[in-house]
C-alpha cells in the first residue's frame, strides 16, 4: 500500500496516534502514514507560537490555547475527510471532549493510544533533543490524560518495544477481519 501520496478512497479514514510526550506519536505516525500511503499530520505543527513558547518555558498550556489548537486540528481533519483523503494525525489526546471533537471532524476515526510507564516516558524525553516540550511537563500531561476506557474507538498499544514491532502490531490490528464463511455441514 505504500505510495507516498495521500490515499484517496471512497471511505477515507482518520487514524489518530495519541499519547503523552515521549510516547512516540510522531515516529509511529510517520511510519504508519508511509506504510498506508496516508497524509501525515504532525499535531505539534498546529500549535500557536504562544503555545510553543509557553510549553518551552515549562508551563502547561492554558485551556484556551489548547482549545484553539484542537479547533485548528478539527478544521484540518474535516478538510481531509471532505476531500476523501485518509490521514494519520499525531495528537496528545489528553481531554475526552476534545477527542470527541476530532472524532466528529474526521472520517472513520480511530485512535491508537501509545502507552508506557512514567519511567520509560521520562527516559525517552531525557534523550530527546530539538523539541520545545521539556521533560518537566510529562507529569502534567500524565495528570491531565482523561480516561478513554469507555471510548470504543480507542485502542491502547504498549510502547515497550521497537517502533518496527509496534508498527506491525498496529497494521495487524487495522486489517479487516475476513468475512465469515458459511459452515459446511
Q: What is the pLDDT of residues 36-55, one digit of tens each?
A: 999 999 999 999 999 888 88
pLDDT band at 133 (very low <50, low <70, confident <90, very high): low
Judged against a pLDDT cut of 60, whether residue 145 lies above it is answered with yes
Radius of gyration of the chain measured on its C-alpha atoms:
17
Q: Which residue has the higher pLDDT, 175 or 73?
A: 73
Bigger pLDDT: 87 or 51? Answer: 87
Would you tell me the crossing angle of helices 96-105 and 63-82 to the nearest 10 degrees?
Answer: 20
Query: Domain-by-domain residue ranges, the chain?
Result: 14-172
**CATH superfamily ID and name for 14-172:** P-loop containing nucleotide triphosphate hydrolases (3.40.50.300)
With 0-12 / 13-18 / 19 or more C-beta atoms within 10 angstroms meaning exposed / middle / buried, residue 35 is middle
**Nearest of 116, 67, 121, 76 to residue 94 by alpha carbon:** 67
Residue closest to 28 by CA, chosen among 80, 79, 100, 89: 89
Cα–Cα distance, 85 to 39 (Å, whole number): 8
According to DSSP, the β-strands at 14-18 and 87-91 are parallel
Give the side-chain half-sphere CA count within 13 A for 115: 12
pLDDT of residue 178: 54
In this predicted structure, what is the pLDDT of residue 185? Answer: 54
* pTM of the predicted model as reported, rounded to 2 decimal places: 0.84
The per-residue pLDDT for 2 is 47
Least confident of 107-121, 138-152, 169-183: 169-183
Amino acid at each position: 500500500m505504500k505510495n507516498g501520496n495521500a490515499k484517496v478512497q471512497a471511505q477515507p479514514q482518520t487514524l489518530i496516534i495519541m499519547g503523552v510526550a515521549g510516547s512516540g506519536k510522531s515516529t509511529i505516525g510517520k511510519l504508519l502514514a508511509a506504510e498506508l500511503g496516508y497524509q501525515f499530520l504532525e499535531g505539534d505543527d498546529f500549535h500557536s507560537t504562544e503555545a510553543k513558547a509557553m510549553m518551552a518555558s515549562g508551563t502547561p498550556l492554558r485551556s484556551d490555547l489548547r482549545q484553539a489548537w484542537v479547533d485548528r486540528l478539527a478544521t484540518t481533519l474535516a478538510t481531509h475527510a471532505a476531500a476523501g483523503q485518509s490521514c494519520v494525525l499525531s495528537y496528545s489526546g489528553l481531554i475526552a471532549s476534545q477527542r470527541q471533537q476530532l472524532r466528529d471532524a474526521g472520517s472513520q476515526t480511530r485512535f491508537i493510544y501509545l502507552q508506557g510507564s512514567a519511567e520509560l516516558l521520562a527516559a525517552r524525553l531525557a534523550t530527546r533533543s530539538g523539541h520545545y516540550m521539556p521533560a518537566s511537563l510529562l507529569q502534567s500531561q500524565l495528570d491531565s490524560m482523561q480516561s478513554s476506557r469507555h471510548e470504543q474507538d480507542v485502542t491502547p498499544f504498549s510502547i515497550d518495544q521497537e517502533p518496527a514491532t509496534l508498527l506491525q502490531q498496529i497494521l495487524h490490528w487495522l486489517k479487516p477481519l475476513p468475512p465469515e464463511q458459511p459452515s459446511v455441514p
